[in-house]
């Protein structure tokens, strides 16, 4: 029955990077089930990663942030109404199989409520997720990459995790490209651009602005590359801080949506930055990536591409490993190897 599934739901709700990693199992699913109807349940913050993707037939968006605001504002029925909307939408698709890549209570709940009779998930007892799945897979090597762990879930469908296929690119509408193309024509022209991303969602992932400025100056001097500082909501001041400390001319990226940022990155020669969603976005768009890793483990969450270098402090991995132990010279060397390779 599983080997002939006609409709499959992917449940991966969360962060941009996690969703990008799940595009590889999606490609494997589409190759194994070319005629199946494949859908994806995602939270609003990451919906642009999957909307319009050529390997998907349906995308179900849960507006979790709005539902949470409604709940804590004293409107629990309004929050529940959003959950019911998503459940009804999924059930209307009549999925035969749901695959929970998230392994959380909320993802397991939605997989169960989708109505799919077969629900595949990990056997780890996390947040009671096991209560909602009925086909469980060991998580595998605890130090393996997350993509490799996600691929393990497909074994229940008869799909081998050997030689996983590359993911299809993120879909970018022409109007999103136009925004970036106009900026590029006005400010960039034919320059070799390195995208620097100094921001992160957690302070323990941050590297100092003055070191980013020093890297930008070295890349300009050694490789003739101009640095463009990319930024998101609330991060513009940090971007200006780096530009003010640079001795060579730099660029401030325009404000972008996820799809616009993906296209902007595709036009760059390289990404240099912290372990964040834009790092994985850069890898997905096929450019060279230099990722900086302190208390997050590069073997588990590093960019899924051969054109990448993970720069780490000299000591073995631990959650106490500090970003400030990474030197400017390490980053410049890694970037130079990729730029000249």
Distances (CA, A) of 336 to 48, 224, 310: 32, 11, 13
Query: Are 195 and 270 in contact, with CB atoms under 8 Å apart?
Result: yes
- The tens digit of pLDDT for each residue in 219-235 reads 999 999 999 999 999 99
Q: What is the CATH number of the domain that holds 183?
A: 3.40.50.2000
233: CB partners within 8 A, 6+ apart: none
Q: Which pLDDT band, with edges at 50, 70 and 90, does 141 fall under? A: low
> Is 167 within the bounds of a domain?
no
Using CA atoms, how far apart are residues 47 and 130, in angstroms rounded to an integer? 26
The angle subtended at Cα 248 by Cα 278 and Cα 259, nearest 5°, is: 20
Q: Which residue has the tokens 């900086």?
A: 292
Q: What is the pLDDT of residue 2?
A: 67
> Is 287 within the bounds of a domain?
yes
87 & 205 share domain = no
8 & 132 share domain = yes
98 & 186 share domain = no
Q: What is the pLDDT of residue 78?
A: 85
Rg (CA), the chain: 21
- Please report how the helices 209-223 and 328-340 are oriented relative to each other, as an axis angle in degrees rounded to 10: 40
Instruction: Give 94's DSSP letter.
Output: T
pLDDT mean across residues, the chain: 93
Share of the chain above pLDDT 90, in %: 83
Q: Is pLDDT of 143 > 70? A: no
- The tens digit of pLDDT for each residue in 26-82 reads 999 999 999 999 999 999 999 999 999 999 999 999 988 887 887 778 878 888 889
> Is 211 within the bounds of a domain?
yes
236 & 322 share domain = yes
Distances (CA, A) of 148 to 25, 136, 140, 307: 9, 16, 9, 18
Using CA atoms, how far apart are residues 340 and 223, in angstroms rounded to an integer? 8
183 & 306 share domain = yes
Q: What is the pLDDT of residue 66?
A: 83
In DSSP notation, 270-315 reads EEEEESSHHHHHHHHTT-EEEEE-SSS-HHHHS-SSSSEEEE--SS
205 & 117 share domain = no
- The tens digit of pLDDT for each residue in 7-31 reads 999 999 989 999 999 999 999 999 9
User: Which one of 157, 187, 211 terminates a domain?
Assistant: 157
Considering the entire predicted model, what is its pTM? 0.92
Q: Three-state SS string across 44-87, please?
A: HHHHHHHCCCCCCCEEEEECHHHHHHHHHCCCHHHHHHHHHHHH
Q: What is the pLDDT of residue 3?
A: 67
Q: Which structural domain range is residue 215 located in?
A: 174-340
> Is 168 within the bounds of a domain?
no
> Is 162 within the bounds of a domain?
no
140: CB partners within 8 A, 6+ apart: 148, 149, 152
Q: Is pLDDT of 211 > 60? A: yes
Q: Which residue has the tokens 């971007």?
A: 239
101 & 179 share domain = no
Buried b (16+ CB within 10 A) or exposed e, 269-280: bbbbbbbbbbbb
Buried b (16+ CB within 10 A) or exposed e, 166-184: ebbebbbeeebbebbeebb
Strand pairing category for 270-274 and 251-252:
unpaired
The number of domains in the chain is 2
Q: Which pLDDT band, with edges at 50, 70 and 90, does 125 fall under? A: low
Q: Which two tokens stand for residue 234?
A: 């609330």
In DSSP notation, 188-215 reads TTT-EEEEEE---SSGGG---HHHHHHH
Q: What's the distance, Cα to Cα, between the start and end of the chain in Å?
A: 48
């Amino acid at each position: 029955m599983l080997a002939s599934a006609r409709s499959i739901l992917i449940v991966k709700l969360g962060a941009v990077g996690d969703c990008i990693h799940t595009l590889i199992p999606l490609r494997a699913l589409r190759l194994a089930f070319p005629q199946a109807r494949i859908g994806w349940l995602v939270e609003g913050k990451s919906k642009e990663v999957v909307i319009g993707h050529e390997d998907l037939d349906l995308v179900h968006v849960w507006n979790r942030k709005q539902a949470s605001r409604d709940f804590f504002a004293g409107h629990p029925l309004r929050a529940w109404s959003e959950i019911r909307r998503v459940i009804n939408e999924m059930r209307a698709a009549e999925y035969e199989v749901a695959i929970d890549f998230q392994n959380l209570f909320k993802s397991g709940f939605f997989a169960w409520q989708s109505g799919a009779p077969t629900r595949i998930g990990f056997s780890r007892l996390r947040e009671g997720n096991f209560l909602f799945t009925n086909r469980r897979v060991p998580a595998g090597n605890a130090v393996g990459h997350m993509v490799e762990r996600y691929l393990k879930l497909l074994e229940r469908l008869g799909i081998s995790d050997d030689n996983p296929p590359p993911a299809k690119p993120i879909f970018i509408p022409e109007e999103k490209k136009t925004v970036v193309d106009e900026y590029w024509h006005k400010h960039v022209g034919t320059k070799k651009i390195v995208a620097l991303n100094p921001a992160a969602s957690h302070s323990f992932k941050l590297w100092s602005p003055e070191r980013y400025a020093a890297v930008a100056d070295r890349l300009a001097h050694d490789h003739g590359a101009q640095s463009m500082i990319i930024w998101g909501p609330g991060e513009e001041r940090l971007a200006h801080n780096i530009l003010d400390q640079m001795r060579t001319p730099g660029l401030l990226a325009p404000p972008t949506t996820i799809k616009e940022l993906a296209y902007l990155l595709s036009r760059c020669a390289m990404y240099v930055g912290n372990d964040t969603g834009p790092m994985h976005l850069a890898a997905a768009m096929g450019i060279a990536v230099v990722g900086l890793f302190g208390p997050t483990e590069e073997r588990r969450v590093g960019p899924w591409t051969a054109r990448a270098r993970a720069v780490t402090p000299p000591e073995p991995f631990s959650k106490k490993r500090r970003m400030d132990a990474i030197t400017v010279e390490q980053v410049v060397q890694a970037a130079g190897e990729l730029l000249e390779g």
